[in-house]
Structure 1
């Protein structure tokens, strides 16, 4: 990816945090790379090289700055929103696919040869999939070294390294310190097994109240909850379950992760960031929406409104189907009945099924949403809905369980929407809602949505589906964010 030197240098000279994660500044005289907002003295132009990824900077022989922690910067909004192969590859790498399945598994998921995928990623990011995964591995290891009392050998394998020697060599190369040297200055104790505390950076502003209120109105007992300014929920991860607590703060979201298996740290972090839309660029979004006189007031009053996303695409699709033509409260009741029935099935033979996760005495037990095969096997009485809608959920669950339908953010958006609408009982509204919240499409608009039309009317906008759809064209490519604004106005 070609970076404009003048634009990048101006961002560094002004220490603009909006560009953190979009590119990295490498200083040849020090051998260090930083995020654009690093508080250190601005380096001279002739000593600077800009890289599109931390992995590219490491590949160039630079180590991470200890002051600004460039590896902990928010992810690039470009890879968060792009629907092409490179964007999908970055989301898969972030979810740990290379560590679990290798480059061959990553290439197979994307439908390309390993060689061609390597060429595409190197052209865009200055590094191939192995280097990108290695950079993420080093960051995961640093978090575990600095925030847990795990033994260093345990951390090496939990972070995805093939050996302790590889772990030590990588940490020395990336951070210029060995794991034992990094541990010397830490005061962490052994602590509670599987518990990791960390801070998730984002680009301000973040309108936390809109996120928490949205989730609070849709919580399911045993799956998620909002209490005391934090959102907690269960997760199904590749190696086991987890419970996460996310509390928004100034420039960071404070996260506590209780993991069955610490190998799931990287995918858990990726899903938490996705859930709160933390890699978004709110200035760019609000710039487009705020240029519309109808939205200017609400954007100024509530800057940084994000799209509440999802950690489980199947869960979001089921929620969307159940929510068709019923109130939010009615949908919660129906979904709660399904979750209780699924837990009562007593099947706990594979990852992804709702096995209760032990918690402290002060918190309620939470688990991830039941897996697709569990929902498909439920008796009719567990659904509590019309036969046609019940058939839709069964068809959805069977398609996901059989691997015929991919609802992860790494899926091809166009193909997923097409396959969703081929299922009985799923129309454009349901497919669009899933594309927005589960797959992460930033440019979805639902003109037939009743709440959107009420919000539009409240803001003095056209309130019929056809005229509202036409008007919304001016909000591209951020119509998903405009939809959230309309819902809040309603």
Structure 2
């Protein structure tokens, strides 16, 4: 069995019950690069790196849970706390890229991609299954800097999420439920620096959260997934792609419209900047695996030197 589990404290209340499991992937796995990309900034209240341990706070159908993951040779040792501990462990293989199928991926179309793929076979595409959490996070990141989006996520999740169970190194929180997102008052959106169009989009989408999640999980192609998400007001192709990447581990999602992505892809693959159309043309040989190529591009460590001033965060809290 690739995942073996046992109950370490069966007599404890569900809220503090501990479960342990060992996952033995059948594929090479770099846990930090696979799961770590889900973290939204160093202050993310749902995710924490503590030395060799990766901590995640999440919601399940049974309630909140906390996961602590540590990789050893060929194994991932996991401990889960809380009423959702069993489901959190059930999700562990997908989180570690077990559902990621690289069949048909040919890195030889570009020598750098071939070299990075050879050096880093353990980079997998994580699938969380947490559709609305990924969608809300992506909406917060629309048209703002990463620092602004990470700050808003931290403030809102800490205030309106649920305290994560277990002995976390610092207080951690699960993302709010659909109902909790809808209950956030306008002044707290404002204090978090979230613009009205983004807050309205999250609130509107939260009213349909369960149906959106079911429809997205049932969709079989990238086009169908985009249709599900972009049918919602305020959600375009960039937000759809970001949601597909985090929630579904979609190997072909490309965040068209990103402020930096096309420049980075063009720089790494050709030595020159390009725009979205140029990026899609460069990635066309890897159709079906374009997100996989983007992950390898970032793993290469090659980055375009910054030109001109950085985009400054805008503070609207006192307006």
Q: Is this a same-fold pair by TM over 0.5?
A: yes
Q: Secondary structure at the match of 1:253?
A: strand
Q: Secondary structure at the match of 1:417?
A: helix
Q: CA deviation at 1:257?
A: 0.9
The aligned residue for residue 186 of structure 2 is 380
The aligned residue for residue 453 of structure 1 is 262
Q: Distance in 1 between matches of 2:51 and 2:137?
A: 25
**How do residues 245-324 of structure 1 correspond to structure 2 at under 5 angstroms?**
245-260=68-83, 265=86, 267-281=87-101, 284=103, 288-324=106-142
Q: CA deviation at 1:302?
A: 2.4
Note the alpha carbon deviations across 1:292-338, whole angstroms, 9 max, x for none: 32412222332322224435211110111111222222211011121
Matched, 1:148 2:8: yes
Q: Distance in 2 between matches of 1:465 and 1:297?
A: 25
Q: Indicate conservation of the 8 Å contact 1:452/1:486, yes or no.
A: no
Cα–Cα, structure 1 residues 249 and 365, in superposed 2: closer, same or farther, change >3 Å?
same
The aligned residue for residue 326 of structure 1 is 144
**How do residues 38-117 of structure 1 correspond to structure 2 at under 5 angstroms?**
71-72=1-2
Q: Distance in 1 between matches of 2:149 and 2:51?
A: 24
Q: Secondary structure at the match of 2:174?
A: coil
The aligned residue for residue 212 of structure 2 is 405
**How do residues 199-238 of structure 1 correspond to structure 2 at under 5 angstroms?**
199-211=22-34, 213-216=36-39, 218=41, 220-238=43-61
Q: Indicate conservation of the 8 Å contact 1:201/1:253, yes or no.
A: yes
More helix by share: 1
Q: Distance in 1 between matches of 2:9 and 2:215?
A: 33
Q: Indicate conservation of the 8 Å contact 1:223/1:367, yes or no.
A: yes
Q: Indicate conservation of the 8 Å contact 1:210/1:305, yes or no.
A: yes
Cα–Cα, structure 1 residues 299 and 274, in superposed 2: closer, same or farther, change >3 Å?
same
Cα–Cα, structure 1 residues 319 and 306, in superposed 2: closer, same or farther, change >3 Å?
same
Q: Secondary structure at the match of 2:266?
A: helix
The aligned residue for residue 307 of structure 2 is none
Cα–Cα, structure 1 residues 297 and 435, in superposed 2: closer, same or farther, change >3 Å?
same
Q: CA deviation at 1:256?
A: 0.8
Cα–Cα, structure 1 residues 210 and 290, in superposed 2: closer, same or farther, change >3 Å?
farther
Q: Indicate conservation of the 8 Å contact 1:313/1:408, yes or no.
A: no
Q: Distance in 1 between matches of 2:82 and 2:153?
A: 25
Matched, 1:439 2:248: yes
Q: Output the TM-score relative to the length of structure 2.
A: 0.80
Q: CA deviation at 1:364?
A: 2.4
Cα–Cα, structure 1 residues 332 and 315, in superposed 2: closer, same or farther, change >3 Å?
same
The aligned residue for residue 66 of structure 2 is 243
Q: Indicate conservation of the 8 Å contact 1:405/1:416, yes or no.
A: no
The aligned residue for residue 22 of structure 1 is none
Cα–Cα, structure 1 residues 436 and 216, in superposed 2: closer, same or farther, change >3 Å?
closer
Q: Distance in 1 between matches of 2:280 and 2:50?
A: 36
Q: Distance in 1 between matches of 2:234 and 2:95?
A: 27
Q: Distance in 2 between matches of 1:408 and 1:303?
A: 32
Q: Distance in 2 between matches of 1:196 and 1:479?
A: 37
Q: Distance in 1 between matches of 2:256 and 2:194?
A: 26
Cα–Cα, structure 1 residues 148 and 342, in superposed 2: closer, same or farther, change >3 Å?
closer
Q: Indicate conservation of the 8 Å contact 2:66/2:82, yes or no.
A: yes
Q: CA deviation at 1:245?
A: 0.7
Larger Rg belongs to: 1
Task: Give ranges in structure 2 of 5+ residues lacking alignment.
Answer: 304-319
Q: Indicate conservation of the 8 Å contact 1:451/1:487, yes or no.
A: no
Which of residues 279, 283, 293 in structure 2 aligns to 1:468?
279
The aligned residue for residue 478 of structure 1 is 289
